[in-house]
Amino acid sequence: MRPAILNPLFTPVTTLSGVGPKQDKLLRYLLDRSDTPRLVDLLLHLPTGVIDRRARPKIRDAVPGTVVTLAVTIDRHRPSPPGRSRAPYLVHAGDDTGDIVLTYFRARSDHIEKLLPVGARRYISGTVQMFDGTLQMVHPDRVVDEAGLANLPGIEPVYPLTEGLMLGALRRAVTQALQKLPQLPEWIGADVLHRCGFPSLAEAIGRLHAPLEPTDILPDGPFWSRLAYDELLAGQLALALVRARLRRPAGARHAGDGHLRNRIIDALPYALTPSQRAAAAAIADDLQQPLRMLRLLQGDVGSGKTVVALLAAATVAEAGRQAALMAPTEILARQHIKTIAPLAERAGLRVAILTGREKGKERRDILARLAAGELDLLVGTHALIQDDVVFQALALAIVDEQHRFGVRERLALTSKGDAVDVLVLSATPIPRTLVLTYFGDMDISELREKPAGRQPIDTRAVPAGRLGDVIDAVGRAIRAGKLVYWICPLVEESEAVDHLTDATGRFDSLRRRFGDQVGLVHGQMKGAEKDRVMAQFAAADIRVLVATTVVEVGVDVPAATIMVIENAERFGLAQLHQLRGRIGRGSEASTCLLLYHEPLGEMSAARLRVIRETTDGFRIAEEDLRLRGEGDVLGTRQSGLPGYRIARSEVHGQLIAQARDEALTIMRDNPRLEGEQGAALRCLLYLFERDEAIPLIGAG
């Protein structure tokens, strides 16, 4: 149950004066919500700038191009001439040092006459400019009388907006929401408050939305940092509660004698890398310990995570138990089974796949074998966490690309067994700060080396003006028997249709040139059709595969040695690296061409430079974080730490470790969140919507 003290913050914004159905729709879009936003959503929508209205010069001293607040007397009005609605409505005003013209377009005469009556003294605030030798102010932001001046803020916040939503309307809504902010208990420990110099929550929110100085709204200032710390502490405490639940003493342990693992290693066509061996040994050791395993295995594109995951599954199968491998997409799940099945067969390990595509009798047979203990490893998608999927003895949950799954999915999978061990795979190397933020205090294994025999990839940036040369080069590659990926961008969902036409258009133009040797794959095709085209490409029945980013992860065609990425400047670093990882998987040298449109922005140029210089995913992840600040390193969204609205890695990085340490102290001293401090912390978890962890308090 949400603490009653928070209820005012969870009332809909439509309860505020002036927020009707139209504003509700605009605020849903702005605040990224499918339903009506609440007051808390509004209060956590922080300003990105300020307007400083404190400068109050005389007219002759006003500097063109600056915001000023002037005391003027209204001299005369000059309405737009009849029939010329586009001509401006001019109001002439002045003080004892000079004159100014106030300019309004498409103005209503009655409104302007009432706002600025001739002979009256008014205070006008806005940006002044020179026009035809006369100082003017177009559409003053504020016009007030003597009484209104007392309430005119010297500094006003500026917020991110969406088309149709006016700044004034948003400010009025925020001002009303501030008045409904309840007096919440303090959840940060006194020593942390003192050490970090944090203000109270109410003061932090108040000063961000009603700043007294322009610096009050800076992300590295005390007010923003206080909210960032609250958000990070809520996240770290939720992770710590999950960890305590997953880490509790395990009872029977799951490691076998190694006979299946040895068969798999013998069946491999290559030797394991040193880091693969170390990771497999660490996992086997974890599976023997009295506490449940919670380990993150992160490796670069093509570093061999699937094989390590298979060895982990074999470890529990040796002890007569079962494993599950959950992937975020069907294409990735099928890639895993393609790698795993031949090795498992030679080792005598029984495996199957379960996705949305397995239906009817086939699905019933798989579920029956699973429940009877006749399957050692089940690979699949979200289909694995459906209610009718029952394991006889699930001991190991392997979750691939964890940052695409929430806490709920992880718990739903582990709840299908008793004391289940957890291995998380990440194909995107994640900088340490983000590992802490997103995974909490997990054990980590890193796969740093590429498997033996991999050739380096030659990466070049080519301006789009040389498209013809690139197509000619593709023709030569086809004649030499090579396989080519041609990637077209799919940048935003709202643009999906346009960009699919883009991919289709490129497919059509290449098809006219190279005929039946060109195929097309994109996300709107049915799974079976995608598989058919991919199989044709893998068998070299087609030589050029035009694709959207649907091939970003999990597609494995070792014979493909050339990749062309169109509009490379539109992709993030991690995504370029993932795409490029589709080539260079065999023993032949590979080439990646980054086609870009000029002029290149500074950020795009930096990204292309990094991707040309290195193929080390760990370095690329660090560069991505540095370049974007709080960039989309985990591929979840375009800004902000994944799952965080306020905290920013490049500004609040040092607070992450602080929040983690405080969360661990809380778990040591008050794991059931009891007493006054516990009640305050429950408020924190609900406020930042980490309350999915609350049912875990003291569980198990």
In degrees and rounded to multiples of 5, residue 107 shows phi and psi of -90, 150
> Alpha helices, DSSP H only, in 581-616?
602-613
Side-chain half-sphere exposure of 673, counting CA atoms within 13 A: 24
Q: For residues 430 and 438, is the Cβ–Cβ distance under 8 A?
A: yes
Burial class (CB in 10 A: 0-12, 13-18, 19+), 24: middle
Residues 518 and 591 reside in one and the same domain: yes
* Orientation angle between helical segments 432-439 and 649-669, nearest 10 degrees: 40
Assigned domain for 663 exists: no
pLDDT in tens, 276-286: 999 999 999 99
List CB contacts of 143: < 8 A, sequence separation 6 or more: 115, 116, 122, 123, 124, 125
Range of the domain at 418: 259-447
Mean pLDDT of the chain: 87
Residues 148 and 210 reside in one and the same domain: no
Residues 439 and 355 reside in one and the same domain: yes
**Which one has a higher pLDDT value, 401 or 293?**
293
* Rounded Cα gap, residues 118 and 107, in angstroms: 17
Point out the least confidently predicted range of 115-129, 172-186, 461-475, 526-540: 526-540
Assigned domain for 365 exists: yes
Which pLDDT belongs to residue 270? 84
**pLDDT above 90 (res 638):** no
* Rounded Cα gap, residues 304 and 341, in angstroms: 15
* Rounded Cα gap, residues 694 and 682, in angstroms: 8
Which pLDDT belongs to residue 635? 36
Residues 269 and 144 reside in one and the same domain: no
Assigned domain for 626 exists: no
Side-chain half-sphere exposure of 212, counting CA atoms within 13 A: 6
**pLDDT above 80 (res 437):** no
Indicate the pLDDT class of residue 630, thresholds 50, 70 and 90: very low
Assigned domain for 654 exists: no
pLDDT in tens, 559-591: 899 999 998 988 888 788 888 988 887 778 899
Residues 436 and 482 reside in one and the same domain: no
CATH number for 329 = 3.40.50.300
* Rounded Cα gap, residues 483 and 496, in angstroms: 26
H-helix or E-strand containing 582? none
Which pLDDT belongs to residue 637? 36
3-class secondary structure, 136: strand
Cα 398 from chain centroid?
Answer: 22
Residues 433 and 342 reside in one and the same domain: yes
Residue 74's identity, in one-letter code, is I
How many independent structural domains does the chain possess? 4
Which pair of structure tokens corresponds to residue 69?
């607040």
Other C-beta atoms lying within 10 Å of the C-beta of residue 444: 17
- Dihedral (Cα; 15, 17, 19, 20), 10-degree rounding: 80
Give percent helix, percent strand, percent coil of the chain, each to the nearest 5. 45, 20, 35
Q: Per residue, what are the HEC states of 474-542?
A: HHHHHHCCCEEEEECCCCCHHHHHHHHHHHHHHHHHHHHHHHHHEEEECCCCCHHHHHHHHHHHHCCCC
What percent of the chain stands above pLDDT 70?
Answer: 91
pLDDT in tens, 80-132: 888 887 899 999 999 999 999 999 998 889 999 999 999 999 999 999 999 98
Which pLDDT belongs to residue 332? 82
Assigned domain for 223 exists: no
What percent of the chain stands above pLDDT 90?
Answer: 59
3-class secondary structure, 642: coil
Which pLDDT belongs to residue 364? 95
Report yes or no on whether pTM surpasses 0.85. no
Domain boundary among 427, 447, 467: 447
Residues 58 and 46 reside in one and the same domain: no
**pLDDT above 80 (res 438):** no
Residues 294 and 312 reside in one and the same domain: yes
Residues 124 and 191 reside in one and the same domain: no
H-helix or E-strand containing 443? strand 443-447
Residues 164 and 117 reside in one and the same domain: no
Assigned domain for 253 exists: no
Indicate the pLDDT class of residue 199, thresholds 50, 70 and 90: very high
Which pair of structure tokens corresponds to residue 326?
């959950």
pLDDT in tens, 493-548: 344 444 444 788 899 999 999 999 999 988 778 878 888 898 899 899 999 999 88
Residues 297 and 438 reside in one and the same domain: yes
Which pLDDT belongs to residue 408? 67
> Alpha helices, DSSP H only, in 550-614?
573-580, 602-613
* Rounded Cα gap, residues 307 and 404, in angstroms: 21
Burial class (CB in 10 A: 0-12, 13-18, 19+), 196: middle
